[in-house]
Amino acid sequence: MEILHPLILYIHILSVIMSIGPFFILLPISQKIKVTEGVKQQAYLDTFKASVRLAKHAGHVLAGSGILLVIISSWTWRTPWIDVTVIVMVSSLFFLARAFSPTLRKFDQPGQNTNELVSKLLRSTIIYLALLLAMLWLMVSKPVFW
Protein backbone atom coordinates (compact mmCIF):
# COMPACT_ATOMS: atom_id res chain seq x y z
CA MET A 1 0.00 0.00 0.00
CA GLU A 2 2.95 2.34 0.59
CA ILE A 3 3.85 2.26 -3.11
CA LEU A 4 0.29 3.00 -4.27
CA HIS A 5 0.26 6.73 -3.46
CA PRO A 6 3.60 7.57 -5.16
CA LEU A 7 2.64 5.46 -8.20
CA ILE A 8 -0.73 7.17 -8.64
CA LEU A 9 0.89 10.57 -8.03
CA TYR A 10 3.48 9.79 -10.73
CA ILE A 11 0.71 8.79 -13.17
CA HIS A 12 -1.17 11.97 -12.26
CA ILE A 13 1.85 14.20 -12.91
CA LEU A 14 2.68 12.38 -16.17
CA SER A 15 -0.89 12.84 -17.37
CA VAL A 16 -0.67 16.57 -16.55
CA ILE A 17 2.39 16.83 -18.76
CA MET A 18 0.64 14.94 -21.56
CA SER A 19 -2.48 17.11 -21.19
CA ILE A 20 -0.73 20.48 -21.25
CA GLY A 21 2.36 19.86 -23.37
CA PRO A 22 0.73 19.36 -26.77
CA PHE A 23 -0.98 22.73 -26.58
CA PHE A 24 2.35 24.55 -26.52
CA ILE A 25 3.24 22.78 -29.76
CA LEU A 26 -0.09 23.89 -31.27
CA LEU A 27 0.78 27.58 -31.00
CA PRO A 28 3.40 27.53 -33.79
CA ILE A 29 1.52 24.84 -35.72
CA SER A 30 -1.54 27.07 -35.96
CA GLN A 31 0.60 29.72 -37.63
CA LYS A 32 1.93 27.12 -40.09
CA ILE A 33 -1.64 26.18 -41.02
CA LYS A 34 -2.22 29.79 -42.06
CA VAL A 35 0.70 29.97 -44.52
CA THR A 36 0.46 26.52 -46.12
CA GLU A 37 -1.98 24.87 -48.48
CA GLY A 38 -2.94 21.44 -49.72
CA VAL A 39 -1.08 18.40 -48.43
CA LYS A 40 1.20 20.40 -46.12
CA GLN A 41 -1.72 22.17 -44.52
CA GLN A 42 -3.52 18.85 -44.07
CA ALA A 43 -0.44 17.44 -42.33
CA TYR A 44 -0.47 20.34 -39.87
CA LEU A 45 -4.21 19.91 -39.33
CA ASP A 46 -3.72 16.18 -38.70
CA THR A 47 -1.01 17.01 -36.14
CA PHE A 48 -3.35 19.50 -34.49
CA LYS A 49 -6.16 16.93 -34.32
CA ALA A 50 -3.84 14.23 -32.95
CA SER A 51 -2.51 16.60 -30.27
CA VAL A 52 -6.01 17.50 -29.14
CA ARG A 53 -6.95 13.81 -29.06
CA LEU A 54 -3.83 12.97 -27.00
CA ALA A 55 -4.64 15.75 -24.54
CA LYS A 56 -8.24 14.53 -24.21
CA HIS A 57 -7.18 10.97 -23.39
CA ALA A 58 -4.47 12.15 -21.02
CA GLY A 59 -7.18 14.25 -19.36
CA HIS A 60 -9.16 11.09 -18.67
CA VAL A 61 -6.15 9.57 -16.93
CA LEU A 62 -5.58 12.85 -15.12
CA ALA A 63 -9.13 12.96 -13.76
CA GLY A 64 -9.12 9.28 -12.80
CA SER A 65 -5.78 9.47 -11.01
CA GLY A 66 -6.89 12.69 -9.28
CA ILE A 67 -10.01 10.96 -7.96
CA LEU A 68 -7.88 8.06 -6.71
CA LEU A 69 -5.46 10.47 -5.02
CA VAL A 70 -8.30 12.14 -3.12
CA ILE A 71 -9.66 8.75 -2.07
CA ILE A 72 -6.35 7.39 -0.76
CA SER A 73 -4.97 10.60 0.72
CA SER A 74 -5.95 12.86 3.59
CA TRP A 75 -7.56 15.40 1.22
CA THR A 76 -11.34 15.59 1.12
CA TRP A 77 -13.81 16.66 -1.56
CA ARG A 78 -14.58 19.73 0.57
CA THR A 79 -11.02 21.04 0.30
CA PRO A 80 -11.25 24.49 -1.34
CA TRP A 81 -8.49 24.05 -3.92
CA ILE A 82 -9.99 20.70 -4.98
CA ASP A 83 -13.46 22.23 -5.34
CA VAL A 84 -12.15 25.13 -7.44
CA THR A 85 -10.04 22.73 -9.55
CA VAL A 86 -13.12 20.60 -10.25
CA ILE A 87 -15.08 23.70 -11.29
CA VAL A 88 -12.29 24.81 -13.65
CA MET A 89 -11.97 21.24 -14.97
CA VAL A 90 -15.67 20.95 -15.76
CA SER A 91 -15.52 24.35 -17.48
CA SER A 92 -12.52 23.26 -19.51
CA LEU A 93 -14.29 20.08 -20.58
CA PHE A 94 -17.21 22.07 -21.98
CA PHE A 95 -14.78 24.46 -23.64
CA LEU A 96 -12.69 21.64 -25.14
CA ALA A 97 -15.76 19.93 -26.57
CA ARG A 98 -16.80 23.07 -28.43
CA ALA A 99 -13.50 24.78 -29.18
CA PHE A 100 -11.50 22.57 -31.51
CA SER A 101 -13.42 19.83 -33.34
CA PRO A 102 -16.08 22.06 -34.96
CA THR A 103 -13.42 24.52 -36.15
CA LEU A 104 -11.13 21.78 -37.43
CA ARG A 105 -14.02 20.24 -39.40
CA LYS A 106 -14.61 23.57 -41.16
CA PHE A 107 -11.20 23.33 -42.82
CA ASP A 108 -12.65 20.50 -44.94
CA GLN A 109 -15.52 22.66 -46.15
CA PRO A 110 -14.99 24.68 -49.34
CA GLY A 111 -15.05 28.47 -49.23
CA GLN A 112 -13.92 28.83 -45.60
CA ASN A 113 -11.72 31.75 -44.56
CA THR A 114 -8.49 30.03 -43.45
CA ASN A 115 -7.18 33.10 -41.61
CA GLU A 116 -10.38 33.35 -39.58
CA LEU A 117 -10.33 29.64 -38.73
CA VAL A 118 -6.66 29.78 -37.73
CA SER A 119 -7.34 32.82 -35.53
CA LYS A 120 -10.16 30.91 -33.88
CA LEU A 121 -7.89 27.88 -33.29
CA LEU A 122 -5.14 30.08 -31.88
CA ARG A 123 -7.56 31.88 -29.55
CA SER A 124 -9.05 28.57 -28.40
CA THR A 125 -5.58 27.15 -27.78
CA ILE A 126 -4.58 30.14 -25.65
CA ILE A 127 -7.82 30.05 -23.64
CA TYR A 128 -7.56 26.30 -23.08
CA LEU A 129 -3.91 26.62 -22.06
CA ALA A 130 -4.90 29.29 -19.55
CA LEU A 131 -7.53 26.95 -18.07
CA LEU A 132 -5.04 24.05 -17.88
CA LEU A 133 -2.36 26.23 -16.32
CA ALA A 134 -4.88 27.56 -13.78
CA MET A 135 -5.65 23.96 -12.75
CA LEU A 136 -1.92 23.23 -12.55
CA TRP A 137 -1.44 26.25 -10.31
CA LEU A 138 -4.29 25.10 -8.07
CA MET A 139 -2.84 21.60 -7.74
CA VAL A 140 0.69 22.84 -7.03
CA SER A 141 -0.01 25.78 -4.71
CA LYS A 142 -3.12 24.36 -3.00
CA PRO A 143 -4.45 27.80 -2.02
CA VAL A 144 -6.91 28.27 0.83
CA PHE A 145 -9.94 30.17 -0.48
CA TRP A 146 -12.28 29.78 2.50
**What is the 8-class DSSP label of residue 145?**
-
Reported in sequence order, the residue ranges of the chain that DSSP labels E, i.e. its strands, are none
What is the average per-residue pLDDT within 33-54? 89
How far apart (Å, rounded) are the C-alpha atoms in residues 112 and 109?
6
Give the pTM: 0.84
Q: Tell me the residue type at 117.
A: L
User: By the 8 A CB rule, do 91 and 130 touch?
Assistant: no
How far apart (Å, rounded) are the C-alpha atoms in residues 132 and 32?
23
pLDDT digits (tens, 9 = 90+) for 53-82: 898 899 899 999 999 999 998 888 888 899
Confidence at residue 126, expressed as pLDDT on a 0 to 100 scale: 92
Of all residues in the chain, the percent with pLDDT exceeding 90 is 38
Question: What is the number of alpha carbons within 13 Å of residue 2 lying toward its C-beta?
Answer: 0
What is the average per-residue pLDDT within 14-31? 90
How far apart (Å, rounded) are the C-alpha atoms in residues 145 and 59?
25
Q: Is the pLDDT of residue 26 over 70?
A: yes
Q: Is the pLDDT of residue 36 over 70?
A: yes
